[in-house]
Structure 1
C-alpha cells in the first residue's frame, strides 16, 4: 500500500485552520468545527465517515486516522478499523469477536489418580477473556465462549509437569492477543503448536511434554496432543470411530498433532486423557461411552472418575488424568435461560470426608482413613441411587452415609444447608465450591462430584 504527502488543497485547509484560530477563543474554534468540519478531518471528513473519538489525522496517509493508545487505524472512506502487523508491516482489518453464548455453553472438569512421587495435572480455564484481562491483554477480537482445557502427563517426566501446567496458557494467550484480525483455522493450530514448542524449549525438555489441550473460541475447538495423549470429540450414542462427530487427535512423540473443528449441535462433548489410559486397552469408543454417560447429565468430573477407574481395572498404571467437557446447545436464536436468576437457592448435600480434608473446629469425630480418590469412587457408586429419586431418596441416603453435621437433622431436613446466598462470602459455614456448584443447578437436579476443604460432596437443589 503506497501513501503520498498531503496534496496542496489539504495543506491549504490546514493553513486556514491555523489562521482562522489566531486570536480566537476555544468557543469560536468549536463554532468553526461546526461550520467547516472538513477542515478538521474528524467529525465529517471529506468523502468519509465520522471517526470514533481519539483518532488523529495522519498527514503521511491521506484518508487515514490513527489512535495512539489503541494502536488502531481508521479508514475514512470505508469507516473500518485496521491494525498493523508488526511482522509484515501490513494493515489488516480489526475483527470484533462474536458471542455464541445464546446457542452454546460449555462446562468442563477433570480428575486424576496419582502415583507415588508422580501426579499428572489438569488446567481448566472457563473464561479466557477474563484470564487475558488479568494479563492486561486485549482479547476482544476473539469469539465467546472462550475456554481452555488441558491435561499434562507425569508418567514419563514428572519434573516438568507442574511447570508445563502453569506455563502453557502463559505462552498461548499473548499469541492469541497479538493478532487482532479474523483468525483462520490454520492460524489457530499454528499458535497452539508454537506455544507447546516454545514451552518445551523453555523447560529444556528434549523428548517433548506429553499433553492434550482443547482451545474453544466461539464455535471452534482447536485440539492439540503430544506424547501419546489424546483429545477426542464425542457425539450421540451409537456413532462409530471415524464419524465426523467422533473426531480424535492422538499425539506423536514430541511434535504436536493439531486439528481445528467447527462445532455443530451434534457435537456433545470432548474428552482429554493421557497415554496411560489409552495403553490400558480401552477402545476409543469405550472411553467416549464412559465419559458421555455422566457428562451428558452435566457431571463431567464423575465421567472422568468413571473412566480412570475402569482404566486402572484394565491395567492402566497411575499417574492418570482425564478432563471432560460438555457442549450444551440451545435451539433457535433466543438466549439460553440460566438455570437460576435468583440470588438465593436452597440445597441439601451428602459429604464424604477423606484424609486430606479439614475438620470443623471442635469436631471430635474419628478422623477418616480413605483417600480423596476413594471418597470420589464411593460417591460415584452412590450417585445412581439418588440421581433420579428426588428429595426422598437423597434424604434417606444422607441419613445413611453422609458425614456432614447436617445429616443428623430431624425428619426430611437431613443434609439441609438452608438458603445459600450467591455472594460466597455471606455463607460462612458452607465452602465456596459448594455454593458455586449449587448455583449451577436447576431445582431438583443433583450436582457433579464437588471437592472442597471439607471433603467430597453431592448437592441437590431443592428450591
Structure 2
C-alpha cells in the first residue's frame, strides 16, 4: 500500500451486498487521497476520472472538499474485478505524482581569501569534509576576481548540512576548531607578526594600530565585523599604475556674492584623505579618486547648505569605504555613494543636490540625487561614444562602468568619460554625451566642462550651474620628436628637458570684486565674467583644432588681451622660453622674505607654466584659468 493513499475496505455481509438488476455481486472500496492530488485524479473537466471509469468498468466518485478532513475519500463501486482494476488505476496515478522528499540545500558566502583553505590541495579538504559530514559540498567558480566572495553550496540532510557548515567554519576560523592539544607535535603554528597581542578572542591576536586580527592556527589576517561578530578576510588593494585621472571643472553663477553658488570638488587621491583621517584604506585599489558637483536645492525645504555638502561628502564616503575591508561587489559601491549622501543629509533626510563619481582602480561608479545628473560613457572613440544606462538606487540615479585590462601600449587608447552637472538643467544623457565626448577623448576636461555648461545654457538653463568632467584612462606616454629608431633614449631626453617655448591667447575676466582689470591692448576695462571668457575661449579652441592651428597668430592678434599679442607676425602671443629651474626657484622663494634679489615675480602664471611642460611640440592645451584670465597655450619649441 502506497503512503499517499489510505485504503479502507468496507466489508459487507452477504445481506448488505449491493446487487444489480441482473443480481450480480457489487463490491465497494474507499481510498483516501491527499487533497493536492485529487485535481490530477479528476483531470480537466473530469476527463481523467471518466476515462478510468470507461476503462475499468467501475464507478469512481471523489467526495467534495471537507475543510475538516485531511484526505479526500474516493469511493469505487462495481464488480469485484472492476473495483480491483479501478483501485490499481487510481494508485498508479497517485504514485506517478508522488515526489520523493527533497534534499535540503544551504548556500554559504565565503571570502575569496578562504576558498583555497576550504578546497585544499587537489580538492583534499573539500572531499574530506564531504566524507565526514555526508553532505555534498560544491564551491562556485571564480569570475576572474580571486578576491570576490564565492558561494559554497551544501546539499544533504539537515544533520549533514549542519556538520558540513561546522567543518567549513572551523577551516576559516569563524568557529573554534580543534584545540591545541589535538594537534600533533609536528604541526607548527604560524609565527605571529610583530605588533599583534592577545585579544579577547581565543584564536585571534590583535594589532591595535592597524585594527587587524591574526589567526594563530591558520595564519590568516582578518578584521572583525562588529555588526555580525564575524571575522572577515582583509583584501589587499591592487595598484593600477597604467591608469590616470584627468579632470576639469567649471562653475556658472548669477553673481559673485551668491552664497548658494554651486561648488565643485576634485579629490585626486582618496588614500591620502584616508591617511589623514586615520582610516584603513589599503584594501582599496589605486588610483582612488572622487569628483563631485554640489548645488543648492531648488525647493523650499531645509536642504543641506552647499558649502557643508561639498566640504564633508568625501570624508563621509571615505569612512564608509574604510568600514568594509574585504572585497566589494559592484552593487555595494552604489550603496557607498548613496549612503554618503544620506549621511550628509542627516536628520532632515533631504538629499543634497549633488552628482558624484567615484573612481577605484579600473572602475567608475557615479550617483546623482534629484536636481543633478551623472553620466558615464562607453566607446572606443568620441564618434562611437554612448551613455551608460543608469539605474535607481535608494532614491538616486546610479551608473557603473569598468575599464578592461589591456596590454601595455593599448590601455592609453581606452578611457571612461565622465560628466557631472548640478543645477536646473534639462539636458539628457545623449546631449551630454555629444557635448563632452570629443574634448574628453582629446584629454581636455576643462573644455568639456565648459562645453557642458554651454549646452545647458542653450537648452534654457538660466540659474547657477556647476559642471565637472573627467576621464579615466591610460597614462599619457611621451612621444619622441626624433625618428622612431631612437627609441627610449629620445623619450628620456625629452623628459629631462628644462626649457620649453610657448605662445598663448588670453581672455581676461572680472570677478566683480576688487579693481577692474584693464585690457593692455585696447586700454579698456574688462567687464566679462569667467563663464563668458571660458565659452568664448572654447569657441577659439574649436576653431584652431579645425584649422590645425594654422591661424593661431591671426586669432591671437585679434582677440588676445595680453601684451604679447602685439609682438607682430608669427611671434604674436609668444611668451619666450620658460626655464623649469627658474620656475622652481620662484615657487620655492614665494612668500619667503629675504630671498635672493635675482628672484623676481614671474609674469607667467604658475598654472600656465605647469601646462607648458606637459605639452608636446605643436600641441594645444586645455583651457587654463589663472588669476589673469582664461589661457589657451601652444608649445612651439
Provide the TM-score with structure 2 as the length reference. 0.58
Asked if residue 92 in structure 1 is aligned to residue 232 in structure 2, the reply is: yes
Residues matched between the structures, number: 413
In structure 2, the partner of 1:344 is 498
Q: Given the alignment of the two structures, is residue 256 of structure 1 paired with residue 396 of structure 2, yes or no?
A: yes
1:349 and 1:417 in contact (8 A); partners too: no
Secondary structure at 2:425 match in 1: helix
Residues 112 and 175 of structure 1: CA distance in aligned 2, closer, same or farther (over 3 Å): same
Aligned 8 A contact 1:277 1:316 in 2: yes
1:391-422 superposed Cα distances (whole Å, 9 cap, x missing partner): 76434433332222433446644332522428
**Residues 333-412 of structure 1: pairs in structure 2 closer than 5 A:** 337=477, 341-342=495-496, 344-346=498-500, 347-356=502-511, 365-387=523-545, 393-409=551-567, 412=570
Once the two structures are superposed, residues 240-259 of structure 1 have per-residue CA deviations (whole angstroms, 9 ceiling, x without a partner) of 8xxxx62143779x832334
Task: Label 1:292 to 1:419 Cα distance change in 2 as closer, same or farther (>3 A).
Answer: same
What CA distance in whole angstroms lies between the structure 2 residues aligned with 1:173 and 1:404?
A: 43
TM-score (norm 1): 0.77
Task: Kindly indicate whether residue 246 of structure 2 is the aligned counterpart of residue 107 of structure 1.
Answer: yes
2:381 pairs with 1:246: no
Distance 1:186 1:6, change over 3 A: same
CA distance in 2, matches of 1:136, 1:224: 26
Deviations 1:45-79 (A, max 9, x none): 962445443334669635x5433322222345654
Q: Is the 8 A contact 2:212 2:221 kept in 1?
A: yes
Aligned residue for 1:268, secondary structure, equals strand
1:161 to 306, 323, 326: 306
CA distance in 2 between partners of 1:285 and 1:259 (Å)? 15
- Name which of structure 1's ranges 406-415 and 394-403 shifts more when overlaid on structure 2: 406-415
Out of 121, 129, 134, which is 2:276 matched to?
Answer: 134
Mind listing any 5+ residue stretches in structure 2 that lack a counterpart?
Answer: 1-173, 405-410, 480-493, 588-600
Q: Which residue of 1 aligns with 2:290?
A: 148
Q: CA deviation at 1:296?
A: 1.3
Contact 1:5 1:61 in 2 (8 A): no
Counterpart contact for 2:316–2:344, Cα < 8 Å: yes
Which structure is larger by alpha-carbon Rg, 1 or 2? 2
Unmatched 5+ stretches in structure 1: 11-37, 39-44, 331-335
Q: Distance in 1 between matches of 2:319 and 2:388?
A: 28
CA distance, structure 2, for counterparts of residue 131 and residue 445 of structure 1: 34
Q: CA, structure 1 residues 59+247, in 2 after alignment: closer, same or farther (shift >3 Å)?
A: closer
Per-residue CA deviation, residues 97-126 of structure 1 (Å, 9 max, x unaligned), is 111231x32212122221254522221212
Could you list the per-position Cα deviations for residues 339-397 of structure 1 after superposition, in whole angstroms to 9, with x for gaps in the alignment? 77346352322211111298899997443111111111221121133336667643443
Within the alignment, does 1:450 sit opposite 2:637 as a pair? no
Higher RCO, Cα 8 Å, sep 6+: 1
* Aligned pairs for 1:62-461 within 5 A: 62=203, 64-75=204-215, 78-102=218-242, 104-116=243-255, 117=258, 118-154=260-296, 156=298, 160-201=305-346, 204=348, 206-236=349-379, 237=382, 246-249=387-390, 255-264=395-404, 268-274=416-422, 276-278=424-426, 282-329=427-474, 337=477, 341-342=495-496, 344-346=498-500, 347-356=502-511, 365-387=523-545, 393-409=551-567, 412-413=570-571, 414-421=573-580, 426=586, 428-429=601-602, 430-461=604-635
Alpha-carbon separation, structure 2, partners of 1:359 and 1:418: 30
| Contact in 1 for aligned 2:518/2:524 (Cα 8 Å) | no
- Take 1:78 and 1:295, find their aligned partners in 2: how far apart are those partners? 49
Cα offset, 1:9, TM superposition? 10
Task: Kindly state the Cα deviation for residue 169 of structure 1 after the two structures are TM-superposed.
Answer: 0.9
**Counterpart-to-counterpart distance in 1, 2:230 and 2:552:** 63
Q: Deviations over 1:282-323 (max 9, x none)?
A: 442222111112111111221222222232223222212222
* 1:3 to partner: Cα distance: 4.0
Question: Closer, same or farther in 2 for the Cα pair 1:384/1:190, shift >3 Å?
Answer: closer
Task: Quote the Cα distance in structure 1 between the aligned partners of 2:445 and 2:305.
Answer: 27
Shift in CA distance, 154/82, structure 1 to aligned 2, threshold 3 Å: same
8 Å Cα contact 1:155-1:319 kept in structure 2: no
C-alpha deviations, 1:122-178, integer Å up to 9, x for none?
212122122322333332211111111212233516872222111211211111122
**Deviations for 1:441-463, whole angstroms, at most 9, x for unmatched residues?**
33322111111111111112334
Deviations, residues 160-203 of structure 1 (Å, cap 9, x unaligned): 2222111211211111122222222232221212110111125x
